[in-house]
């Protein structure tokens, strides 16, 4: 039995969660086109018995929030979660967006990673959106740093080269225990996953600043004979944001609820009755107490 931990790190919106979902073959981390979709450390568990002589393998992936220039206390707490993650892993997997130009933010991330001696692999994501010369130019930038054990081009969305990347990561796993049962893909509580599904639908639906000031709390969760009854509160920072979330005649909130319910039913494998309410909690992203109580800050 070989096992170990991989820290997935990168800037916002580079495809970290999409890659994790691709590796696991199922959705455990929410995705959207907006930066800072991931706020918490998400744990993905990959277990296989396809090694040599049927040897079992378990890789625990830690998907971290995107590292960015913080604009509030929530942003600082999110960065702290990401940075703390790579300190206790067997290998760091840096994901970069190949469809975007390498800039100062990418260099700052490399400077930060240079301070650790943990083995590092870089995956240039969205290679399906790059030409050969663009890919080679970016490949050479990372190769010249002499920081990385390997550099892979992948398409997380299409699954291209993902199995090869997983095989390479497995080489860093060591003889050890199976940390989790082989039939689970995450140890995150169902209530947390449900709240993330609702937040994902809000991210997809809302524009501009509103989605970044949204927090979803599951107030009630009850499994009945033929249905699961869930009540959730959507917190936002302003009265105007509340009106936007609800929409004219409540249509936007109803749309969010319907889209979330369908995904939750697929997750649970049963019918769901979902009730949503919207409340205002002004400037919560700059409240140290709220950030800690809502689990966004490492103790």
* CATH number of the domain where residue 241 is located: 3.30.300.20
Whether residue 226 lies inside any domain: the answer is yes
According to the model, what pLDDT value does residue 92 have? 92
Predicted local confidence at residue 68, as pLDDT: 44
**Domains identified in the chain, total number:** 2
3-state secondary structure of 152: strand
Q: Which of 175, 202, 229 corresponds to the end of one domain?
A: 175
pLDDT (tens place) for every residue of the chain, 299 residues total: 899 999 888 887 788 888 988 998 887 765 655 445 455 567 889 998 765 566 789 999 988 765 544 455 555 555 565 566 667 789 999 999 988 888 888 888 888 888 888 999 999 999 999 999 999 999 999 999 999 999 999 999 999 999 999 999 999 999 988 888 888 888 777 888 898 889 889 988 886 656 677 889 899 999 998 999 999 999 988 898 899 999 999 999 999 999 999 999 988 889 999 999 999 988 877 777 776 665 655 54
The answer to whether residues 141 and 207 belong to one domain is no
pLDDT given at position 70: 47
Same domain, yes or no, for 228 and 275? yes
User: What is the CATH number for 55?
Assistant: 3.40.50.300
29 within domain boundaries: yes
Q: Give DSSP secondary structure letters for 214-272.
A: -EEEEEEEEE-SS-EEEEEEEEES-HHHHHHHH-GGGHHHHHHHHHHHHHHHHHHTS-E
140 and 237 housed in the same domain: no
**What is the structure's pLDDT at 120?**
94
Which residue in the block uniquely carries the two structure tokens 């931990």?
A: 5
Question: Which structural domain, as residue segments, surrounds residue 162?
Answer: 2-175
The backbone torsions φ and ψ at residue 45, rounded to the nearest 5 degrees and listed phi first, read: -115, 115
| Contact in structure between 115 and 86 (CB atoms under 8 Å) | no
In a domain, 167, yes or no: yes
């Amino acid at each position: 039995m070989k096992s170990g931990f991989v820290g997935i790190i990168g800037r916002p919106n580079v495809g970290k969660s999409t890659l994790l979902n691709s590796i696991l073959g199922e959705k455990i981390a929410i995705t959207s086109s907006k930066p800072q979709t991931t706020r918490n450390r998400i744990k993905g568990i990959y277990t296989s018995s396809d090694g040599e002589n049927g040897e079992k393998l378990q890789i625990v992936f830690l998907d971290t929030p995107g590292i960015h220039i913080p604009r509030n206390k929530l942003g600082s707490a999110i960065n702290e979660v990401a940075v703390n993650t790579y300190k206790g892993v067997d290998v760091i997997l840096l994901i970069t967006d190949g469809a975007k130009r390498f800039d100062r933010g990418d260099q700052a991330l490399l400077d930060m990673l240079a301070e650790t001696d943990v083995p590092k692999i870089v995956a240039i994501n969205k290679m399906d959106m790059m030409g050969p010369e663009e890919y080679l130019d970016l490949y050479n930038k990372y190769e010249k740093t002499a920081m990385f054990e390997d550099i892979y081009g992948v398409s997380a969305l299409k699954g291209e080269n993902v199995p090869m990347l997983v095989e390479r990561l497995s080489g860093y796993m060591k003889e050890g225990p199976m940390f989790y049962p082989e039939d689970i893909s995450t140890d995150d509580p169902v209530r947390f996953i449900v709240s993330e599904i609702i937040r994902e639908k809000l991210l997809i639906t809302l524009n501009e600043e509103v989605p970044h000031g949204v927090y979803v709390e599951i107030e009630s969760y009850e499994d009945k004979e033929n249905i699961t009854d869930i009540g959730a509160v959507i917190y936002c920072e302003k009265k105007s944001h509340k009106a936007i979330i609800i929409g004219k005649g409540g249509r936007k909130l109803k749309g969010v609820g319907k889209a979330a319910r369908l995904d939750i039913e697929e997750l649970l494998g049963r019918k769901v009755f979902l009730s949503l309410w919207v409340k205002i909690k002004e400037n919560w992203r700059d409240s140290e107490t709220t950030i800690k109580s809502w689990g966004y800050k490492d103790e």
